[in-house]
Structure 1
Amino acid sequence: MSHCVWLYHRFPLSFREVEELMLQRGVIVSYETIRRWCAKFGQASANGLRRRRPRPGDKWHPDEVFIKVSGELKYLWRAVDQDGNVLDILVQNRRDKAAARRFFRRLMKKTGAVPRVVVTDRLRSYGAAHREVMPCVQHRQSKYLNNRVENSHQPTRQRERAMKGFRSVGGAQRFLSAFSGISPHFRPRRHQMTAHNYRAEMTIRFAIWEQITGAVGLATTI
């Protein structure tokens, strides 16, 4: 079970592709079973990983991108700290002041913290919501300062293409909430590490994953 959840959230694969990979390993499981496993255990695994992370940094980078849900444009709001750790995601219909205010309040409630500085692009909704929700927090606006969170959107885009879009707002919220907790765990900054250090880091991360999911002795390579 845990291996199927890992494959689905780590790589841009469909349920049928995960089924085929498991069949190559001699494990017979239907794609519908994999879908149910991911729906049932994905969020619980993501929550377990988040509880093991250190407290979020004091510099937050919120951003929003459009996604298609049943052919309609929606907005995926995401925030990361200065280390690239995903703080929260939220799928909303708009990107106005009310949407930004809701996202800021949700962020502070979920993290239980108030940042030292918030870095956003030049969308005016951020400024209006910031003045209302966290007026004592420093706010920097620039289209050049938010590369940290913009890079964080890339795995979501890969997954969106593999899934050929999302079918409902609730389904997108549930999947992306789990995905944003599991996927970064298996994506260390490979370009900043030697091959030896990368293998050592991944060994540690797979050991943590097995502890979270209760799995023992699973293979760690495809």
Structure 2
Amino acid sequence: MGFLAGLALLLLGLHLIGEGLSSVKGKRYLLARAFSRPGSLLLSGLLLGLLSGSGTGLSLLALGLLEGGIFSLGQAALLSLAATAGAGAWVGVVALAQREVAEVLLALGLPLFLFRGSRSGGLVLLGLGLLFLGFLEMGQGAKAFAPLLSLLNPGPWALYLVGIVLAFFLGTANGVAALALALMPFLGQGGSMALTLPLIHIRRGGQRGS
């Protein structure tokens, strides 16, 4: 149960972060002003991708700014690439999560959430705190799955198919990557790689489609 509870916290954290960042979409002209320089655009894209764990959502934001005539093609492409790179580093940051850091983020996020003017920032901090706590709970709860995994002994192709199904139902590639990272002590490096291999194909397909 601890593993599933951790997964629920992780997904809830991702949702809260997305809710907090979504308010930026309604302030496109302010966003364009803040991103007027290539350096600030690159840094902001990396940071937003790292916080949200979703390069796709920020790529759609860049496309909307391009269609609205606020961003040039070069600015939209730079934001999309920077956000994708930041989202790629998201799993590594989650892997370094500590319970103390999660508690600090939750403690800072709560008062910000209670005030209307800073509610978006509070949602982001609360989401990060829940996300870190969720990953830690997943790591501890994964021990209960060790006997079952030893009994089933799933092969690479079975894990590959499981990765596809999880990415479809969870709706987040980075969530599946965090799941594979939590299960690595029991699946081994090869098993975790097989679980995350579909994510590479999904992301490549999305990039070709865009």
The verdict on a shared fold, with TM-score over 0.5 as the criterion, is no
More helix by share: 2
Q: TM-score, normalised by structure 1?
A: 0.25
Higher relative contact order, structure no. (Cα contacts within 8 Å, ≥ 6 residues apart):
2
Q: TM-score, normalised by structure 2?
A: 0.26
More strand by share: 1
